Structure 1
Amino acid sequence: MKKIVCSLFFLMVCILTACNSGPVVTRATGFAYEAVVVMDKNYWDGVAGDAVNGELTAPVPGLPQAEPSMKVSYSQPKDFNGLLTYVRNILIVDIDPNIYTKVSLSAEEDRWASGQLVLTLKAPSPEMVAEYTQQHPNQLTNLFVKEEMARATRQLEKTYSSVVMDVLKKNHQLALNVPEEMVYYKDTTNFFWATNNASTGRMDVVVYTFPYTDPNTFTADYLVAMRDSVMKANLPGAFPGSYMATETKYFDVDYSPIEVEGKYCGVMRGLWKMVGDMMGGPFVSHARLDEKNQRVVVAEGFVYAPETDKRNFIRRIEAALYTLRLPGEYEAPEENTQEK
């Protein structure tokens, strides 16, 4: 029988559910990347529960140590009421051979609370639930993670570092919403770096550009080589001769294409290290083509947090990368508009 992970938050929810008789809560509650799974206990303790829980708690790709994609709490259907229905991420698994003949998955936003995502998985048998998760790997997790990214991006569009935004717009014709605490920066030709300079959970972002001359630019090999060249030149370590590089000997770099603003974006994730030092951690980058200026724009976030889990830090900075806007995708600075 699997170990059921329950956060302190969900324990408090259960207590408050029994006591609460106040007004209806309209905003979704809970922490980022946490979900409650609702299904019959007999199925939760069997192959269906193993399959669902196994997927949701699978390791996050691109981290140096294994961390679960989601933190999962479980509820029996009879206990799923009150404040539990206001949790931001909910998965309902309904297994009934008398009603269903095939597996189906649906998603609904704001079902019981605003800012909420409810997934409902219906199946005629627990075995078909397990089979479905094998045929559609990471589908449940990806839906929750995509929604969490969207939530974080919407928040960054409201509250962000105006320092970073202003410098990038003025000097690089780019816009990027990063966490508001990132106010320490270095700006040079074709390279920008900012950090929150935190003692715990340090997050950094870099933006650099280079001419687009090769159609093979958008490959892992090309971008890793360019990354190492740029980082070595611009981010020296604390010790003489030390510099940042990509870890490729013991860890594979993952590269995958997505669309941002309806255009191609290469997403690369892996580990960074300081050559000549003992520092390292995860990174994720977005590479896009600025057609107007025929340059490649790379925005990267990386994390240094040796004393704690890194999942939420790297995902927060990854959400910021989705706010990258190239020339023509944002309102130009007023002084540039006047010059035209």
Structure 2
Amino acid sequence: MKGKLLVYFLAILGLSVACKEDGKVDYLPESVGAMNTLTVVIDNELWKSSVGDAIRENYTAAAPGLTWDEAQFSVTQIPQQIFTGSLQNTSAVLYIMEDTLNIAHMKSNMYAKPQKIGVIKGRNKEELITNIKKTAPEFIADFKALEIGKAQKRFEKSLNKEKALEDKFNIAMKIPSIYRVGREEDNFVWISREIQKGNMNIIAYTMPWDSFQSDSTFVQDIILMRDSIGKSFIGGEDIPGKNNHMITEKAFSPYVFPAEVSGKKAAEIRGIWEMSAYPMAGPFLTYIINDKENNRKLILEGFVFAPATKKRDYMFELEAILKSVRFNVKK
């Protein structure tokens, strides 16, 4: 019996060693890294060259829909020889080097979990730059999805348990417990949290399924919808003789992108809100979701008021919350 156990133990040990030799590790440490931070692993001289310029052009471009320019990623550059030990546990990495190969691909969970490492190689600077520009949209989407997932996982540690969204719209979202329901009407819910210099807000309401039928007037219809909701529910400081409420900024039209939220087709709108009769403004993010099963358009919006403060990460948190929506919650 002891002989059989010894043989079994040696077999398991051999399997374990074989797995390590093949590079397959059962356990991966938790990845680290601040929100929207990208570590670029690249030779110092390449970083200072046109290759570095291509990286900065694509990965530090201004995030859309903010009140002033903020890069979509905060980039930290390190050379290859330093990318060892705990630095390999960084969650979002762009690894670029001159090589005998001309390749570009995304790897997942190489050293930690969750982790995305975009690998770009080229035989010269021209090939590297071509690969950087070609893969940037896909890599940026992958890095953003990674960050969204990490944020939603953090939310789960302490979730808001209020039932307003479930009761009104039969939906649920992963909203941190620091948020509170502030207003609840027949077809409108307003949830918010205080921050150091202002507040972060989430609103939800519905529109009829046949809304937004014309592509030619889509942006104008969105503005009319937002301004109407602002007038009805989001008032500002009293101004004698004036109705002061939230509207869409008049100077610039919002950005509109196709999107998918919770498996449903949607439109993503990013822009600036302002008050109709008072100098206040900030960024907003709206999702118009085609909820065909319930014969409606579900509107989810996040907006921030934080004067003289960077807002990129605030808006990213709201995006992660809105994208966590689940439909037809069982009561």
TM-score (norm 2): 0.84
- Counterpart pick for 1:178 among 168, 175, 179: 175
**Distance in structure 1 (CA, Å) of the matches to 2:159 and 2:198:** 18
**Distance in structure 2 (CA, Å) of the matches to 1:175 and 1:198:** 23
Q: What is the Cα deviation at residue 325 of structure 1?
A: 2.4
Q: Counterpart in 1 of 2:279?
A: 278
SS in 2 for 1:292: helix
**Distance in structure 2 (CA, Å) of the matches to 1:214 and 1:89:** 39
- Given that 2:262 and 2:324 are in contact with CA atoms closer than 8 Å, whether structure 1 keeps it comes out as no
- Given that 2:274 and 2:282 are in contact with CA atoms closer than 8 Å, whether structure 1 keeps it comes out as yes
- Given that 2:262 and 2:323 are in contact with CA atoms closer than 8 Å, whether structure 1 keeps it comes out as no
Q: Counterpart in 2 of 1:10?
A: none
Q: Which moved more, 1:147-156 or 1:279-288?
A: 147-156
Q: How many residues align?
A: 300
**Distance in structure 2 (CA, Å) of the matches to 1:293 and 1:86:** 43
Q: Counterpart in 1 of 2:87?
A: 84
Are 1:244 and 2:246 counterparts? yes
Q: Counterpart in 1 of 2:58?
A: 55
- Given that 2:28 and 2:113 are in contact with CA atoms closer than 8 Å, whether structure 1 keeps it comes out as no
1:30 to 1:292, Cα distance in 2 relative to 1, 3 A? closer
1:290-328 Cα offsets, whole Å, 9 max, x none, are 22332211000001111311000001001111112232x
1:108 to 1:308, Cα distance in 2 relative to 1, 3 A? same
1:27-53 Cα offsets, whole Å, 9 max, x none, are 212211112111122211111111112
1:138 to 1:201, Cα distance in 2 relative to 1, 3 A? farther
Q: What is the Cα deviation at residue 64 of structure 1?
A: 1.1
Q: Which amino acid aligns with 1:244?
A: M
1:59-80 Cα offsets, whole Å, 9 max, x none, are 1111110111111111111122
- Given that 2:181 and 2:189 are in contact with CA atoms closer than 8 Å, whether structure 1 keeps it comes out as no
Q: What is the Cα deviation at residue 189 of structure 1?
A: 1.2
Q: Which amino acid aligns with 2:256?
A: Y
**Distance in structure 2 (CA, Å) of the matches to 1:160 and 1:269:** 26
**Distance in structure 2 (CA, Å) of the matches to 1:217 and 1:176:** 30
Unaligned segments of structure 1, at least 5 residues: 1-23, 334-340
Q: Counterpart in 2 of 1:290?
A: 291
Amino-acid identity (%): 26
- Given that 1:153 and 1:320 are in contact with CA atoms closer than 8 Å, whether structure 2 keeps it comes out as yes
Q: Counterpart in 1 of 2:146?
A: 147
- Given that 1:217 and 1:223 are in contact with CA atoms closer than 8 Å, whether structure 2 keeps it comes out as no
Are 1:129 and 2:128 counterparts? yes
**Distance in structure 2 (CA, Å) of the matches to 1:142 and 1:125:** 26
* 1:149-168 correspondence to structure 2 within 5 Å: 149-163=148-162, 166-168=163-165
**Distance in structure 1 (CA, Å) of the matches to 2:181 and 2:282:** 20
1:147-198 Cα offsets, whole Å, 9 max, x none, are 11122123334532112xx111123222222232111420001111111033
Are 1:228 and 2:227 counterparts? yes
Q: Which amino acid aligns with 1:42?
A: E
SS in 1 for 2:117: strand
Q: Counterpart in 1 of 2:270?
A: 269
Q: What is the Cα deviation at residue 120 of structure 1?
A: 0.8
Q: What is the Cα deviation at residue 106 of structure 1?
A: 1.7
Aligned-residue CA RMSD in angstroms? 2.1
Q: Counterpart in 2 of 1:338?
A: none
**Distance in structure 1 (CA, Å) of the matches to 2:308 and 2:322:** 25
SS in 2 for 1:197: strand
Q: Which moved more, 1:271-280 or 1:288-297?
A: 288-297
Q: What is the Cα deviation at residue 134 of structure 1?
A: 3.7
Q: Which amino acid aligns with 1:268?
A: I
SS in 2 for 1:278: strand
Runs of 4+ in 1 over 6 A off after TM superposition: none
**Distance in structure 2 (CA, Å) of the matches to 1:61 and 1:222:** 21
Larger Rg: 2
1:199-251 Cα offsets, whole Å, 9 max, x none, are 435210000112222451773322221111111111111123210000132x2
Q: Which amino acid aligns with 1:150?
A: G
* 1:1-340 correspondence to structure 2 within 5 Å: 26-96=29-99, 99-100=100-101, 102=102, 104-163=103-162, 166-200=163-197, 202-214=199-211, 216=213, 219-240=218-239, 241-249=243-251, 251-327=252-328, 330=329, 332-333=330-331
Q: Which amino acid aligns with 1:124?
A: R
